[in-house]
Structure 1
Amino acid sequence: MTRFAFTIEFDGTPFAGLQRQKDAPTVQQAVEDALFRITGETALLFSAGRTDAGVHALAMRSHADIDKDMTPFRLMEALNAHLRPDPVAVTACEIVPEDWHARFSCSGRAYEYRIANRRAPLTLEKDRAWQVAPQLDAEAMHRSAQALVGVHDFTTFRSAHCQADSPVRSIDRISVRREGSHVVTEVEARSFLHHQVRSIVGCLALVGMGRWREEQVALALEARDRQELGLNAPAHGLYFVRATYP
């Protein structure tokens, strides 16, 4: 049995998320089905993150155990051939030790959220960025976001359906910057709660639009109450960009 690690890029638009579900298409199902067609084996895919429906990935790290004797390059090429026409691509493949685990060995995860800050309808970026028409103050968004860095109870910023045992998480870094007509938020942490990044970005957008004062983000955090959440940003602007390992 050989453990192969993959770096996977995908457009989450047609999927109900990454993790396999009973009655909906997922990224995991697409990759596992491709592995079965290649090897004849029922392999399970394990991944660093659990993205929601509509969320994208630039470099999701995953792994699967396979009996068939294949080189990483041959397996990557075969996977990409069998994944068509699904918008999923394996951009890297390597053999890793048996005790390496895409999820449990991961020491850090990074997400990026892209806002298209313009009035004109989106064409090339439809379903790949959140369109916000009012002019956003990215500097104010960045300043208010710093209240969330560190270890906190993020009850306000997690989904009511979140299954995590504790709402306490440690955010290592948040940055908000303007790139032309886009406002990009980057968030890094060891792990995240369900909807945490989208909830954070939604509130930061309210600050950027001037509908919230900068200090309201800190006040919402201190409230530890989901009812104090101002806005939950849509899934299609969110990208999993990086998984870090020791």
Structure 2
Amino acid sequence: MISPRTRYLIFFQYFGTKYCGVTRAPPDQAVLGVLNYLEMAAEKLRLSAPAKFVISSRTDSGVHALCNAAHVDIERPSDKPPFSARLLAEALNRHLKPEPIRVLGARCVPDTFHARFSARSRTYVYRVATGCSHPSELPIFEKNLCWATCRGHLNLLAMREAAAFLLGTHDFSTFRSASTELPVRDPVKNLAWVDVRPAPGFLSEHSKNSDLRFWELEFMSRSFLYKQVRRMAGVLVAVGQNRLEPHHVQELLEIRDLMAYPQNTIAPADGLFLKDVEYYEADLETGEPEMESQPC
């Protein structure tokens, strides 16, 4: 006998440098995905059925998450009550050590909830560093966490002018990936928010390079095409470097042809962070299992 199945929404974060992405990889692969480690942690909870995490947002190799989300169905033996959301998060974190993955929180959700399809919005941040002649000049705390462009500082006003063309509903075919890894989806997306701003670095005040500056590009939409954010970030940085004019971004949208995307412009994975995934509160409402008295 097993206890009733309970569905949980899990929020988690990770440094993506050492993983092949967030999605599950074959177990015999040399480099695994974040989900492999989440599911290995869940295996240690002595469940009645394997726990399969369904992610909200795919991130590729080298991409980080300040907050990603997934849902998971948990079944326990009949003599065990359902985990409380708090206890489930604590147990997963204990079994995730020493991986750079952390469960931020969990909550019980209805069986109809889906982490991917129920998402209201997703927000990504792309980080750029300027003022260094080689990536090796970055502070060690910034290694693999930003794009060191080594081309001088960015033209902020031009980037903001270009970013305004991306706002709203457009056919983003020029900004989709040519990769055949994923099926082609509707290229029409609504970009609800875009911002380009100077930003502090991680402990950058301790850097000996007084010319070092950091920048953040932020994008929010209900969904994005595969690699759309990195391609938008790359074009905006090219505008900031005066390699493209702001009006070229509008022209790229209007062309609607991925082959028109400027070569050697896509931003690398290192600087990309999934910042947040938001849901409607009404989609999350359900009864909460009773608190468990003993840790798993």
TM class by shorter chain equals over 0.9
Counterpart in the other structure of 1:131: 148
Bigger mean CA offset, 196-205 vs 102-111: 102-111
| Count of matched residue positions in the alignment of Structure 1 and Structure 2 | 246
Alignment-derived partner of residue 158 in structure 1: 176
Q: Distance in 2 between matches of 1:63 and 1:71?
A: 15
| Whole-angstrom CA distance in 1 between matches of 2:63 and 2:176 | 16
Q: Following superposition, which runs of at least 4 residues in structure 1 exceed 3 angstroms of deviation? A: none
SS of equivalent to 1:94: strand
Aligned letter for 1:234? Answer: P
Aligned residue among 181, 194, 199 for 2:231: 199
Deviations 1:49-81 (A, max 9, x none): 011111111111111110123222221111111
The answer as to 2:217 corresponding to 1:185 is yes
Q: Which has the higher Rg, Structure 1 or Structure 2?
A: 2
Give the alignment partner of residue 23 of structure 2, picking from 19, 28, 34. 19
**Secondary structure of the structure 2 residue equivalent to 1:75:** helix
Residue by residue, what CA displacement relative to the aligned partner does 1:116-135 show, whole Å, maximum 9, x if unpaired?
12206222111111112211
* Corresponding residue of 2:207: none
- How far residue 165 of structure 1 moved from its aligned partner, in angstroms, is 2.6
Residue number in structure 2 paired with 1:243: 277
Structure 1 residue 172, shift from structure 2 partner: 0.9
Tell me, in whole angstroms, the C-alpha distance in 2 between the residues paired with 1:214 and 1:75: 48
Q: Which residues in structure 2 correspond to 1:44-63 (within 5 Å)?
A: 44-63=52-71
1:168-227 C-alpha deviation (Å, 9 max, x unpaired): 211111111112521101101110001100000101111001111111111111122223
24, 35, 41: which one pairs with 1:34?
Answer: 41
Structure 2 residue runs of 5 or longer lacking an equivalent are 77-81, 201-212, 281-296
The CA deviation at 1:141 is 0.8
SS in structure 2 at match of 1:114: strand
SS at match of 1:51: coil
Equivalent position amino acid for 2:153 in 1: Q
1:233 counterpart residue number: 267
User: Could you tell me the percent identity over the aligned residues?
Assistant: 36
1:146 aligns with 2:164: yes
Aligned residues: CA RMSD = 1.4
Which letter does structure 1 place at the counterpart of 2:258?
Answer: R
SS at match of 1:107: strand
Assess if the C-alpha contact under 8 Å between 2:185 and 2:225 holds in 1. Answer: no
User: 2: CA distance between counterparts of 1:103 and 1:213?
Assistant: 36
Distance, in Å, in 1 between the alignment partners of 2:46 and 2:174 is: 45
2-side partners of 1:39 and 1:118: how far apart? 52
Give the TM-score normalised by the residue count of structure 1: 0.95
- Whether contact under 8 Å (2:158, 2:245) holds in the other structure is no
* Mapped partners of 2:131, 2:41: distance in 1: 39
Contact 2:238 2:244 in 1 (8 A): yes
**Separation (CA, whole Å) in 2 of partners of 1:168 and 1:39:** 44
Q: Deviations over 1:127-149 (max 9, x none)?
A: 11111221111221111011111
Q: Which amino acid aligns with 1:174?
A: V
In structure 2, the residue matched to 1:64 is 72
Post-superposition CA distance 1:93-119 (Å, at most 9, x none): 121222222111112111111111220
Most deviating of 128-137 and 192-201? 128-137
Matched, 1:213 2:245: yes
State the Cα deviation string for residues 14-35 of structure 1 (Å, max 9, x = none): 1111111223400111101110
2:144 maps to 1:112: no
The answer to whether the 8 Å contact 1:18/1:27 transfers is yes
Deviation of 1:4 after TM superposition, in Å, equals 1.3
CA distance in 1, matches of 2:155, 2:14: 30
- Taking the aligned partners of 1:166 and 1:64, their CA distance within structure 2 comes to 27
SS at match of 1:73: helix
- In structure 1, the gaps of 5 or more residues are none
Equivalent residues of 2:145, 2:270 under 8 A apart: yes
Tell me if the contact between 2:177 and 2:228 (Cα under 8 Å) persists in the aligned partners. Answer: yes
What is the CA-CA distance between 1:166 and the residue it aligns to? 1.9
